[in-house]
Structure 1
Amino acid sequence: MKKFQVVGIGNAMVDVLAHADEAFLEANGIGKGIMQLIDMERAVTLYDRIGPAKEISGGSAANTIAGVAALGGRTAYVGKVKDDQLGRIFAHDLRAQGAVYETAFAPQDSAQETGRCIVLVTPDGERSMNTYLGWSEFLSPADIDEAQMAQAEWIYLEGYRFDGPESHAAFAKAIRACKAAGGRASVTLSDPFCVERHRDAFRKMIREDMDLLFANRSELLSMYQTEDFNAALTAAAADVAIVACTEGEHGAHVLAEGQHWHVPAVPTQIIDATGAGDLFAGAFLWGLTHGHSYEAAARMGNLAASEIISHIGARPEADLAALFRQHGLI
């Protein structure tokens, strides 16, 4: 038995969550429903302008790993933060969830700071993300522990982390170490604009190295440059063994072994959509590592996503395992 069921690699961030209306987004040049990269100066300016905010450890893959840990999974995370207040908060919060986090802190005297994502939630529950990557951008191959990767049943790679000078090399090192030891690799596309920036690199990695692709509808359409969703699903299934694609209120699709399952969404009042895809992935991977079918894993994913969107923040507040039991999944 391997030490870890899932090891995630991504942007180590602290989420700053605040409510805003459409007028605020327009006045501050914020694109609705997407992730925009910003510098430290812009991050400070936006923070000063937003109303009351809630600061929660986040980062897409870290949210996924927190979900696996909340379910009792054996899990670890790799992502770079600085030895500053936000960095220490991030490390404490992730470890408190039950995940192993051993990535070395960047030094206190470095110019960059711990990354943060200012998430503005509009009344419809949609989130618009303004991301200062900070030290998370500088994840390098030196931060990848090959022995840790070899001890993973699955590794989970965050698409956002493709925005970094050494990230592709770091991912390649992790993939080699994991797969050489019999593990499997998964990736999430993260954002349609992220796909546009790195489509060729994504496509090559998916075809050559991935066993499982996570995406939502808009990301998959961007990846395969089509407006035909079924065509995008079919193209993805030709590239990778397992495709898990979410479609918001229309549920999720899983394609594997020549079959296509559609799993309905769980009706939920949306308070904050932040982290829905992250927790879908965490619950799906937990399901697979515990011997459940693809369809059951997708149902778990939808339930976990419904829990996350019912409150502010991208870390689970309810007992996910109890939720699965209530729905007869475990």
Structure 2
Amino acid sequence: MRHYDVFGVGNALVDILVLTEDSFLKKMGWTKGIMTLVDSETQGTVLTALEGHKKELRSGGSAANTMIALANSGGTGTYTGKVSSDTYGEFYKKDMENAGILFEVPPVSEGHTGTCVILTTPDAERTMLTHLGISSTLTVADIDLERLKASSYAYLEGYLWDIPSTKQACVLTMEEARKSGVKVAFTYSDPFCVHRSREDFIRLTKDYCDFVFCNVEEAKALAGTESKEDAIKFVSSLCPTVFMTDSSNGAFVSEKGNIRHVTGFSVQKLLDTTGAGDSFAAGALYGLAQGFSLERSTKWGNYVASRIVQEIGPRLSVRLMGRQEEILGKA
């Protein structure tokens, strides 16, 4: 069987990207800058209200965005998520494979493929309205243990913790990875995920994780502090290696409690923060899989994230494969 750099597990969602105004969010009553789970009727109401706006489709979900950006950097990966045999499901599989990621979870005939309406305002903030659809029925039976064992890293998203069956699939993946010597990387995904499942996330981090990916707000939520320094110290006390992004300030990386700051890259024009954290994780995982140092892996993560925020949506329009030495130098 082919070897993969990363075995990804997460929600399989078709992203519907729409540029809008703050006034639209206020009119609809949505809290800006966060992800909200909605039912299909609510999402349909939002899409109806957006009639006349340009919409773009992408295969997505947090961990899926990471896997696609990983392939863009030159990494290899296989992704596990659940779709239906509807039009969106067919689009999802084809789009993932066109991006260079293996996606072979059999579609199901009932239900609808999950969708996420991503509303991006002029300040580049994104507000996400997610209908999980059939993605919430992912189970332990969908985890291909042979492909997991043929991978260097398992990467899982915190959004899996919202549904019992996806939670079980997450734990099984982590347990089997540890048994097989596959490194486990977990992203907290969103401060609201952390608040909803704080004690579970602490336990997962301590018992299973070799690597954690989070941003400052997620780390603060887990640590119960307003200090980013104390936050990363707390997460670092639970996990050997922690990557904590800090927006334009770059990122912090901790190895066995030794915390270093790695500067970011300048951004000419900030257009959309969708997928910034996902892209950082992709860059860092690529670096780790290629044997980069932690600092160099973090630096590449910073670069990939700096490029994605200059795009609309979570997909890079430029190819980064083979450009690491050109961009980072030989150091």
TM-score by length of 2: 0.96
CA distance in 2, matches of 1:328, 1:159: 30
CA drift of 1:72 comes to 2.3
**Structure 2 counterpart SS, 1:304:** helix
1:96 lines up with 2:98 in the alignment = yes
Match of 2:71 among 69, 86, 90: 69
2:327 maps to 1:309: no
Alignment partner, residue 235 of structure 2:
236
Aligned to 2:195: 196
Asked if the contact 2:240–2:257 (Cα under 8 Å) also holds between the matched residues in 1, the reply is no
2: CA distance, partners of 1:105 / 1:189:
27
Contact 2:74 2:320 in 1 (8 A): no
Q: What residue number does 2:319 align with?
A: 319
Alignment of 1:166-177 (within 5 A): 166-177=165-176
- Give the Cα separation in 1 of the matches to 2:19 and 2:252: 31
Residues of 1 paired with 2:81 and 2:150: CA distance? 18
Residue aligning to 1:15 = 15
* Matching residue's letter, 2:18: A
My pick for the range that moved more, 29-38 or 251-260, is 251-260
Residue 28 (structure 2) aligns with: 28
Q: Root-mean-square deviation (CA), in Å?
A: 1.4
CA distance in 1, matches of 2:329, 2:16: 34
Is contact 2:69–2:283 with CA below 8 Å preserved after alignment? yes
Partner of 1:149: 148
**Cα distance in structure 2, aligned partners of 1:219 and 1:279:** 16
The residue matched to 2:328 in structure 1 has which SS?
coil
Report the Cα distance in structure 1 between the residues aligned to 2:182 and 2:167, rounded to whole angstroms.
19
Question: SS at 2:181's partner residue?
Answer: coil
Task: Indicate the SS of the match to 2:237.
Answer: helix
Structure 1 runs of 4+ aligned residues shifted over 4 Å read: none
Q: Deviations over 1:42-81 (max 9, x none)?
A: 1111111122211111111001011111222221000001
Contact 2:63-2:155 at 8 Å conserved across structures: yes
- TM-score normalised per structure 1: 0.96
Contact 1:82 1:106 in 2 (8 A): yes
Confirm or deny: 8 A CA contact 1:115 1:132 kept in the other structure.
Answer: yes
1:107-151 alpha-carbon deviations (Å, 9 max, x no partner)? 1xx2x3111111111111010111111111111111111111111
CA distance in 1, matches of 2:117, 2:171: 30
CA-CA distance at 1:21 after TM superposition? 1.2
Match of 2:137 in 1: 138
Gap change, CA 1:204 and 1:11, over 3 Å in 2: same
Residue deviations 1:145-189 (CA, integer Å, cap 9, x gap): 111111111000011111112122111211222221111101000
Offset of residue 322 of structure 1: 5.0
What is the identity, as a one-letter code, of the residue corresponding to 1:157?
L
Q: Once the 2 structures are TM-superposed, how far is the Cα of residue 324 of structure 1 from its aligned partner?
A: 2.6
Alpha-carbon distance in structure 1 between the residues aligned to 2:329 and 2:279: 17
Deviation at 1:314, TM superposition (A): 0.8
- 1:147–1:177 CA contact under 8 A, matched in 2: no
Aligned partners of 2:129 and 2:204: how far apart in 1? 27
Unmatched runs of 5 consecutive residues or more in structure 2: none
SS in 2 for 1:170: helix
Q: Aligned equivalents of 1:156 and 1:79: distance in 2? A: 12
Residue 113 of structure 1: aligned partner: 112
- Structure 2 distance, partners of 1:43, 1:297, is 38
Residues in 1 aligned to 2:222 and 2:200: alpha-carbon distance in whole angstroms = 11
The aligned counterpart of 2:274 is 274
Cross-structure match for 2:185: 186
1:262 paired residue number: 261
Matched residue SS, 1:213: strand
CA distance in 1, matches of 2:124, 2:216: 18
Alpha-carbon spacing, 1:217–1:180, altered in 2? closer, same or farther (3 Å)? same
> How far, CA to CA, are the matches of 2:131 and 2:43 in structure 1?
6
Distance, in Å, in 1 between the alignment partners of 2:224 and 2:114 is 31
Supply the distance in 1 between the matched residues of 2:262 and 2:323 (Cα, whole angstroms). 17
- Per mean C-alpha deviation after superposition, the further-off stretch among 143-152 and 208-217 is 143-152
CA positional deviation for 1:326: 2.8
Q: Give 5+ residue unaligned stretches, structure 1.
A: none
SS of residue paired to 1:147: helix
Residue of structure 1 equivalent to 2:45 = 45
1:282, 1:70 → 2: CA distance? Answer: 9
Q: Give the direction of change, closer, same or farther, for the CA distance of 1:198–1:288 in structure 2 (3 Å limit).
A: same
Output the CA distance in 2 between the equivalents of 1:146 and 1:29: 43
